[in-house]
Amino acid sequence: MPLFPIHRIRALLLLAAAAAACLYAGKEFRKMNAPDTILPGQGVSRIRALKDYFPNLEGTRSDSAVYFLESGRPGPTVLVLGGTHPNEPAGFLAAVALVESLRVKAGRLIVVPQACQSGFTCTDPLEGYPQSYSLRSRSRLRTFRFGSRAANPVEDWPDPIIYRHFPSGQQLSGNETRNLNRAYPGKSDGTTTEKTAFAIMKLIRDEKVNLAFDLHEAAPEIPIINAIVTHEKGRELAAGALLGLELENLPYALELSPPNFHGLSHREWGDGTPAIPFLLETTNPVQGRLRGRTGASLAVDGQDRQYRLAQESGRMRITYDAGGEPLARRVGRHLRAIQAVLETYNELHPEGRVELEGIPSYEEIIRNGVGSLLQ
Amino acid sequence: MKKTVAHAFVCLFIFLLYPGTSPLPAQAADKLPQPVLISSAGQSADVAIAGMLCKKLSLQAKSQPLAKPADLQGIGTLMVVSGFSTKGLGAAGVSKEQEMERVKALLDAAREKKIRVITLHIGGKARRGGQSDDFNRLAAEASERLIVVRTGDEDQFFSSLAAGKKIPIDLVDKISDAMQPLGKIF
């Protein structure tokens, strides 16, 4: 019998191929731990972290930078959260754009671009999501991670079969355990995601936030897209903003937060803190079930043949035109909607205004791209 | 001859005075009375937007998405904002059936008390079809005037209903454009 019969050679080759594949996959997975680069602009006065509000987060993958843009002039405190769901890049990039380009002339802004920092360290299994996408900024090519809807599963492995929300006892499917936007008001001795939610609630209370925005995206075929969801406290502000946006040809739907659906920012921030919460939704074809080939270009350009076919057959709730739903349009919508709410707030509260400077108009963002908002 | 001419003048005078058989209800040409009660049919948050439109027009109006017949006391016009929202029903803590019963009772009470009723549909395509149309039909059929954002009438649902029931309808391109017909009727 030969020392290396053919079946042994074949087995060794297969083992080597499997090892190479595992090494490559492991290396790619570990690459996701490299943090994204955010370049604070002139408007940033100081940087803190979520651990400053809840020290238990120190050294964990859930700690995240908190950027302060302070005018030194009296006015309301506004919080903007991006990256609650790291697979919704427009919310994250809109927050990064504020950090890198905005100046605050009255009041102050607090921005957390990566609220669920842990979710940026992986993608969702079986979705075929890209790991990253690139944009040309004002000075260079910038690459950002495209993450997962929820925190990394390794944080609290394994997920329970049923997620029981604290403190309501509401039951959801087990994987929602890692969904930051089902975890509020959070729990100091809870799961990683509950601890993150706890820290954000504490930030809102400690910093006396008046208005709070949570930036999201959703699949093109669901009803709640291009929408403002608010607590009953924000009804009038959202209605005013919506009329202003509509005059600029940016139609939005207005939805009220159901009081019996717990764990969401627009419910728990409104119930548990003095802040008036707004959740903004744009349209992200990468999240849709009807989408075709999924890659970085779909995340950035938002062009998908399957969605165009769906539009032609009348199955879409948005106008998915030949331009698709590019990031520029989605980030532009987020930034414009935040401004519209703040403009309505200023109309209703002339004694305590918030004034922002440095955000280009929606048309300019469309014309020059999202990269023009980044350093 | 003089008699014939006199008769002709009398006939002409009577003809001019006679209100005729206009396809529109006689009330439609009038200004609608205030205060206005804004209520929902389907619990969409569009009530808040209608409230903002009334505020911009300086109308004397109050919003009660869950208004009941007793809330019609002292009200001049009931403005029903139609469109279904599951989130809205959840927020209000009512089921679709309960909402339907409430809206029917409110519209019946308005008819009994001779309170003028108009319907606003400003939610476009998102507040059409399926569950929304039950509320849209109920509110529209009980109204003397409809104001509809055009994207909610792409299939002529409201136009056909208005034509069949001889209800005046204003189709507007945008929600904010609804201020124009509202300004005219109030």
User: Quick one: pLDDT at residue B7?
Assistant: 66
**Bridge partners of A104?**
A356
Interface pTM (ipTM) of the complex? 0.72
User: Quick one: pLDDT at residue B11?
Assistant: 54
Which of B48, B91, B125 comes nearest A258 by C-beta?
A: B91
pLDDT, greater one: A282 or B28: A282
User: Quick one: pLDDT at residue A349?
Assistant: 92
User: Quick one: pLDDT at residue B154?
Assistant: 92
User: Quick one: pLDDT at residue B21?
Assistant: 40
3-state helix, strand, coil in chain B (%, to 5): 55, 15, 30
pLDDT digit string, tens, across residues B97-113: 999 999 999 999 999 99
Question: A236 at the B interface (CB within 8 A)?
Answer: yes
The average confidence (pLDDT) of chain A is 94
User: Quick one: pLDDT at residue A311?
Assistant: 84
Percent of chain B with pLDDT over 70: 84
Alpha-carbon distance A266 to A182, whole Å? 11
Q: Can you say how many angstroms the Cα of residue A304 is from the centroid of all Cα atoms in its chain?
A: 22
pLDDT band at B19 (very low <50, low <70, confident <90, very high): very low
The average confidence (pLDDT) of chain B is 88
Residue with tokens 């005018």: A71
Best of A231, A255, A348 to mutate (most B CBs within 10 Å, chain B):
A255
User: Quick one: pLDDT at residue B5?
Assistant: 60
pLDDT digit string, tens, across residues A217-273: 999 888 788 999 999 999 999 999 999 999 899 989 899 898 999 999 999 999 999
User: Quick one: pLDDT at residue A323?
Assistant: 84
User: Quick one: pLDDT at residue B118?
Assistant: 98
Which of A236, A239, A258 comes nearest B90 by C-beta?
A: A258
Best of A246, A257, A278 to mutate (most B CBs within 10 Å, chain B):
A246
- When pLDDT is averaged across residues A112-137 and rounded to a whole number, the result is 95
Report residue A313 as tokens: 């057959």
Which domains are assigned to chain B?
A: 25-185 (3.40.50)
Give, for B83, the enclosing helix (H) or strand (E): none
- When pLDDT is averaged across residues A129-150 and rounded to a whole number, the result is 96
CA dihedral of residues A319, A325, A330, A332 (deg, nearest 10):
-90
Task: Assess contact for A356 and A119: CB atoms under 8 A.
Answer: no
In this predicted structure, the answer to whether residue B128 has a pLDDT above a threshold of 50 is yes
- When pLDDT is averaged across residues A157-168 and rounded to a whole number, the result is 96
Contacts of A253 in chain B (CB under 8 A): 123, 126
Contacts of A239 in chain B (CB under 8 A): 45, 48-49, 51-52
End-to-end alpha carbon distance in chain B: 49
CATH code linked to domain A35-373: 3.40.630.10
Alpha-carbon distance B186 to A228, whole Å? 29
Task: Assess contact for A88 and A216: CB atoms under 8 A.
Answer: yes
Best of B52, B62, B131, B174 to mutate (most A CBs within 10 Å, chain A):
B52
Secondary structure (DSSP) of A245-278: HHHTT---EEEEPPTTS-S-HHHHHHHHSSPEEE
3-state helix, strand, coil in chain A (%, to 5): 40, 20, 45
Alpha-carbon separation of residue A7 from A13, A16, A21 (angstroms): 10, 14, 21
Q: Can you say how many angstroms the Cα of residue A198 is from the centroid of all Cα atoms in its chain?
A: 18
User: Quick one: pLDDT at residue B90?
Assistant: 83
Alpha-carbon distance B55 to B60, whole Å? 8
pLDDT digit string, tens, across residues B133-154: 999 999 999 999 999 999 999 9
Question: A313 at the B interface (CB within 8 A)?
Answer: no
pLDDT digit string, tens, across residues A26-37: 998 899 999 999
pLDDT, greater one: B174 or B10: B174
Please count the helices (runs of H) and the strands (runs of E) in chain B: 7, 6
Alpha-carbon distance B42 to B35, whole Å? 22
Alpha-carbon distance A341 to A252, whole Å? 12
Report residue A203 as tokens: 């930030």
**Bridge partners of A212?**
A79, A277
pLDDT band at B22 (very low <50, low <70, confident <90, very high): very low
Give burial (CB, 10 Å; 0-12/13-18/19+) of A307.
buried
B166 conformational bin, left if phi > 0, alpha if psi -120 to 50, beta if neither: left
Report residue A69 as tokens: 């843009």
